[in-house]
Amino acid sequence: MSALPGSAEGTAVTGLDSSPVDSSPETLADLPPLTEQTRLEAREIMARYPQARSALLPMLHLVQSVQGYVSPEGVTLCAEELGLTKAEVGAVATFYTMYKRSPTGRHLVSVCTNTLCNVLGGQRIMDALSADLGVHHNETAPDGSVTLEHAECLAACDYAPVVTVDYEFYDQQDVESARELVAALRRGEKPHPTRGAPLSDFRGISRQLAGFSQWADAGAEAAAVDAPWSAGPTLIGVHLADERGEAAPPMPRASATSSSGGEAAEAAGIESAQRGAPEPSGRSLADANDGTDTPAGTEPGTSGQGPAARPRSAPGPATRPRSAPGPATGKA
């Protein structure tokens, strides 16, 4: 990998983010505060779980929905409410890539650059959007409209290349369609996703991931949940089989049982295990001198590293000469 450790490109390729949490005075001064209402909602989340600390993940989404990332203040709030150290909370917040370390734009645009999406143009989409926005992976456009990131799989290979906005899917994209999508976002528009709920924004979806509705009323929420979508690429195999009159062969229903009353598959496994020599009541461990003739640490490329090897002629105290029978087998 040519990218330098800690660089945006290196992070995108390896998936390992070593960037620090943004705690600059300028950033912190612009953040909306975490209010008493935020604490009450955090306690509401905690009440859902038998063990309060199990609420940490949705609580991190909650503070992110207010401030746009998991800030030092957000870490402190979670630690105080859960009785954890800030180090424990920070370890979780920096483990998962959905928890951001710096303020996210109004929308989070994720471009899948994994195998299938990449082959079909995912990297070209990423490069074009990066050029249009003037940013790299995990960076935000100067106008605060969009944060751009690579994604290492969006679990929608049958719709490749895939782009998501705030985790909503825009399927079968190409360079031009993705550029127009991002341009619309920057104009303040919210193009409807290919499938699923209407587009919100990053803070709205973070609130939903915390377990709270982001919709104004029950009717709007129901409409979002029941939004229409097309599953054409996913179901094409089913439709072709139906048109051709094809069906999977029926599964055989084995009725044979073993002498012990097990099913046929279990009986087959028992017979396989018992094939050949009878199984002893206690398995005999392999001799300590069995295996490779090359002592540990002397293989090519090891530079002599590894534990010192014991000569084969001098068995260790726990070994037994091969001519001596084991206590459980009686074998020579």
DSSP of 196-249, one letter per residue?
SSPP--HHHHHHHHTT---SSSHHHHHHHHT-----HHHHHHHHHHHHHT--PP
Domain chopping of the chain, boundaries: 19-93, 107-197
Instruction: Decide yes or no: CATH 3.40.30.10 for domain 107-197.
Output: yes
Picking from 137, 71, 70, 81, the residue whose alpha carbon sits closest to that of residue 109 is: 137
Whether the pTM exceeds 0.75: the reply is no
CA 71/CA 207 separation, integer angstroms = 16
CA 104/CA 275 separation, integer angstroms = 63
Residue 162 has pLDDT above 70, yes or no: yes
Q: For the sheet containing 163-165, what is the strand order?
A: 139-140, 146-151, 107-112, 163-165, 168-170
Q: What number is the average pLDDT over the span 227-255?
A: 80
Query: Of 145-154, 235-244, 249-258, 273-282, which gets the smallest average pLDDT?
Result: 273-282
Predicted pLDDT at 239: 83
Helix (H, G, I), strand (E, B) or coil at 87: helix
- Other Cβ atoms less than 10 A from the Cβ of 99: the count is 20
Q: Top-level CATH class of 19-93?
A: mainly alpha
Q: Are 137 and 127 in contact (CB under 8 A)?
A: no
Six token digits for residue 42: 């955090």
Residue 261 has pLDDT above 70, yes or no: no
Q: How far apart are the first and last CA of the chain?
A: 55
pLDDT more than 90, % of the chain: 53
Q: Give the list of residues 6+ apart from residue 251 with CB closer than 8 angstroms, or none.
A: none
CA 12/CA 3 separation, integer angstroms = 10
Residue 139 has pLDDT above 80, yes or no: yes
pLDDT in tens, 6-55: 445 445 444 556 688 888 999 899 999 999 999 999 999 999 999 999 99
Q: Checking phi first, is residue 167 left (phi over 0); if not, alpha (psi -120 to 50) or beta?
A: left
Residue 279 has pLDDT above 80, yes or no: no
